[in-house]
């Protein structure tokens, strides 16, 4: 069951002149799966450039909700529009504009591949069908841009670095989450989904992840849909347009 979205930011009422319409609009959204109601009666408006933080205990339905908003799961009731596209009818269009960072069990990184192999693979996915390859220079250029972004979004702390030849199996948790975000951003999506920030065990890593996500958004109109079980690590400000949605476990 969901409780109404709470908006800590006083300015959550966006200026309509700057915001043509919410990126996510849900009314009475419901998902039933496996003989249970995962969530129901959910109303939500997420403006462009905002961050939605879905918070709740294990099995509350956070991943399911994010995947539903990303056009990857079919809601069983209510109304849902993402980027102006009704779901599930226009799920294909939504999927092209809403990118997932690593979601365990859905698009897991391959432990046996290196950082640069993952980047090359993702670049190829975004190439036209008649030119399905990338050069080593293009991969290196993408990695260089990534390092610049990481330095810029480090939030005053030391930047994460991604080493081209490192295997995913050897990445630290924050580096792995970072790689997932980097890969998601290759296609320049309008919306980025980051599930389960609490998979980072170290408080310092979670803080850096939230800070970096906020900094990323300052560079454009990226809307972030994220989830966690404990939001106490989020460096909340009163003016950063974050929307907090609590999900409770429901049988």
Ligand X SMILES: Nc1ncnc2c1ncn2[C@@H]1O[C@H](COP(=O)(O)OP(=O)(O)OP(=O)(O)O)[C@@H](O)[C@H]1O
Give the binding site for ligand X (CB under 6 A): 33-34, 36, 38, 56, 58-64, 196
C-beta of 34 vs 128, nearer to ligand X: 34
Query: Of 38 and 48, which has the nearer Cβ to ligand X?
Result: 38
DSSP 160: P
3-state DSSP helix/strand/coil % of the chain, to nearest 5: 35, 25, 45
- 155 or 173, CB closer to ligand X? 173
- Please name the residue ranges forming H helices in 100-228: 115-125, 136-152, 173-185, 203-218
Q: How far is the CB of 202 from ligand X (least distance, A)?
A: 18
Least separation in angstroms between residue 125's CB and ligand X is 25
CB of 50 to ligand X, least distance (A): 21
Helix extents (H) in 153-202: 173-185
Q: Are 195 and 66 in contact (CB under 8 A)?
A: yes
Closer CB to ligand X, residue 38 or residue 185? Answer: 38
In contact, 192 and 46? CB cutoff 8 Å:
no
Rounded to a whole number of angstroms, the minimum distance from the CB of residue 120 to ligand X is 30
SS3 state at 93? helix
Using Cβ positions, the residue closest to ligand X within the complex turns out to be: 34
The helix-helix angle for 136-152 and 173-185 (nearest 10°) equals 120
To ligand X, the closest distance from the beta carbon of 65 in angstroms equals 7
Nearest to ligand X of 49, 75 (CB atom):
75
CA 133 to chain centre: 27
């Amino acid at each position: 069951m969901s409780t109404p979205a709470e908006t800590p930011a006083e300015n959550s009422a966006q200026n309509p002149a700057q915001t043509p319409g919410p990126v996510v609009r849900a009314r009475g959204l419901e998902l039933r799966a496996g003989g249970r109601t995962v969530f129901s009666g959910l109303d939500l408006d997420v403006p462009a450039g905002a961050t939605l933080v879905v918070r709740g205990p294990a099995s509350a339905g956070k991943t399911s909700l994010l995947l539903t908003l990303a056009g990857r799961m079919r809601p069983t009731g209510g109304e849902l529009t993402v980027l102006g596209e009704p779901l599930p009818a226009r799920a294909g269009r939504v999927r092209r504009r809403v990118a997932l960072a690593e979601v365990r069990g859905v698009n897991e990184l391959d432990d046996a591949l290196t950082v640069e192999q993952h980047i090359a693979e993702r670049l190829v996915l975004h190439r036209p069908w008649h030119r399905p390859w990338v050069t080593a220079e293009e991969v290196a250029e993408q990695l260089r841009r990534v390092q610049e972004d990481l330095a810029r979004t480090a939030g005053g702390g030391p930047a994460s670095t991604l080493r081209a030849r490192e295997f995913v199996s050897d990445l630290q948790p924050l580096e792995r989450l970072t790689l997932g975000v980097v890969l998601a951003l290759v296609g320049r999506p309008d919306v980025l989904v980051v599930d389960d920030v609490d998979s980072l065990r170290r408080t310092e890593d979670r803080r850096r992840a939230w800070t970096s996500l906020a900094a990323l958004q300052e560079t454009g109109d990226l809307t972030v849909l994220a989830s966690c079980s404990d939001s106490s690590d989020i460096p909340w400000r009163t003016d950063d347009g974050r929307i907090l949605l609590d999900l409770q476990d429901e049988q």
